[in-house]
Amino acid sequence: MNTGAQVRRQGRIRRTAETLFGRRARLRWVHLVLGGALLMPYWLLSQVLLGALNNNQSHLRQLLLQLLSVGTSLPMAAVTALLPTVRTLESAAARALCTPDRPEALATGPARSWAARRRAAGWYVLHLFLGGVVSGMTLAGAPFAVVLILDLPGANDLTHYWERGFPGWMLTGVALGLAVLALIVGTNAACGALLARWAPVLLGPTPEERLAVAERRAAVLAQRNRLARELHDSVGHALSAVGIQASAAARVLRSDPDFAAEALAAIEETARAAVTELDTVLGLLREEDTGDGPAGPTLAGLDDLLRQLARTGVRVDTELSPGLDRLPPAVSCEAYRIVQEGLTNVLRHAGPAPAALRVALADGRLDIRLTNPLDSPRPGRPSRPGGGRGLRGIEERTAALRGGSEAGPAEDGTAWRLAVWLPTGR
């Protein structure tokens, strides 16, 4: 028990010593001294302005004027701190020297709004005031303590002055000097901790700035997700089709040259279509204006997609409702991408298996149903690592249009089913 108590006591002593004399305490002392140095020009200006009031040599009056000059210098400092760049400079200094617990919470840019400027001005005033206190105690108290501890000439006079002023506190010169040093060190630790606590509050971004950052990040993420969906559904579909067609052409190159030539022609057509799709995606990346037209292929190009799949061996039994050409471009484009991704999944995972596609339009709603036999993967066609992005992209597309989707095995377990419904209102 005694050993445990000693360990805890030693731990508390080490933590106290680290708080008072550690690296963080030394950095905070430098930060506070810099604040005192920044206070000096304002204080000297106040001295000049208040010089007319110092018309006698009374020590008490001079002390009061010194304190008054400090009080008048702080409002001047607050006015100059309203400059937007002050927050940037103070944040950098606080991050490097004040060592707050959450340095990432400090703003890195200038204060744009008046609320941010007022908070930065409040921090600037607090920094200069506490820095002036610590700097004054360090400059005046440290030599005073050294004189007392080393018993230099004048130490006795200082000790007698203390005894006359505080008769109930009889201290030797050494004890008095150590007490002064302890007061300086404790004040530095307390002021540094206070600044570190208030740094995220006064130098951190305002709620409006946090909201603006969150909105910009959300916009960037939404654009990235959109580009990822377009690349996955367009270029990914083309590469899957090209891979299967090239594999089929390689197998029958000598036995069936005509089929191989047809497969190579299909590869060429698919590659040209992929280049066109890639140009469309690059237009989105560069934020090029496409006018009122769709930002990609629509359901009007569904026949070309089905013809490409037929060349890979995927036969699709299609049932299309009339009026699909009158859909809003955004809905038609997203519906085409959903169908494309669904058929690409058939090609990737089921191979040249028959599929059934139904696209129905009724009562302001577009329904897409795609089914294919649910067989085990063929040998030599393992599932790709890191897959699953296609279904997630379908969910994101339907959510953007306030629709819904379902994907998974049918109830009897013999087929895979993809169901999507989209509102067709503008």
Using alpha carbons, list the distances in angstroms from residue 216 to 111, 220, 349.
Answer: 18, 6, 38
Nearest alpha carbon to residue 76 among 50, 114, 111: 50
Q: Choose between 347 and 382: higher pLDDT.
A: 347
CA pair distance 337, 329, nearest whole angstrom: 12
Instruction: Say if residue 33 is in the same domain as residue 175.
Output: yes
205, 237, 255 - which closes a domain: 205
Residue 317: beta bridge partners? 356
Residue by residue, DSSP assigns 163-192 as: HHH-TT----HHHHHHHHHHHHHHHHHHHH
Instruction: Out of 33-37, 231-235, 321-325, give the one with best mean pLDDT.
Output: 33-37
Out of 205, 240, 275, a domain closes at 205
For residue 66, the model assigns a pLDDT of: 77
Q: Is residue 210 part of a domain?
A: no
CA distance 425 to 328: 8
Domain membership flag for residue 212: no
Q: Are residues 282 and 321 in the same domain?
A: yes
Is 217 within a domain?
no
Q: Tell me the CATH number at 327.
A: 3.30.565.10
d(Cα 55, Cα 58) in Å, to the nearest integer? 9
Q: Clarify whether residues 363 and 283 are in a common domain.
A: yes
| Same domain assignment for residues 122 and 243 | no
58 shares its domain with 178: yes
Domain-ending residue, one of 156, 172, 205:
205
239 and 172 in one domain?
A: no
Q: Which domain holds residue 385?
A: 225-423
Outline where DSSP puts E strands in 155-277: none
| Mean pLDDT of the 196-205 span | 92
Residue 216 domain flag: no
Mean pLDDT value across the chain: 80
**155 and 280: one domain?**
no
For residue 142, being part of any structural domain is answered with yes
Is the domain of 199 the same as that of 337? no
Same domain, 231 and 192: no
Is the model's pLDDT at 382 over the cut of 80? no
Three-state secondary structure call for residue 418: strand
Query: Cα(247)–Cα(231) distance, rounded to whole angstroms?
Result: 23
Greater model confidence, 252 or 121: 121
CB environment 307-325: b (16+ within 10 A), e (fewer): ebbebbebebeeeeeeebe
Task: Tell whether 244 and 323 lie within a shared domain.
Answer: yes
Q: Say yes or no: 129 and 270 in one domain.
A: no
- Domain check: are 179 and 261 in the same one? no
415, 371 Cβ separation under 8 angstroms: yes
The pLDDT tens digits of the residues spanning 78-129 come to: 999 999 999 999 999 999 998 887 888 898 889 888 999 999 999 999 999 9
Asked if residue 197 belongs to a domain, the reply is yes
Residue 218 lies in a domain: no
Write the pLDDT tens digit of every residue in 403-415.
Answer: 888 888 887 777 8
- Say if 314 falls within a structural domain: yes
Provide the number of structural domains found in the chain.
Answer: 2
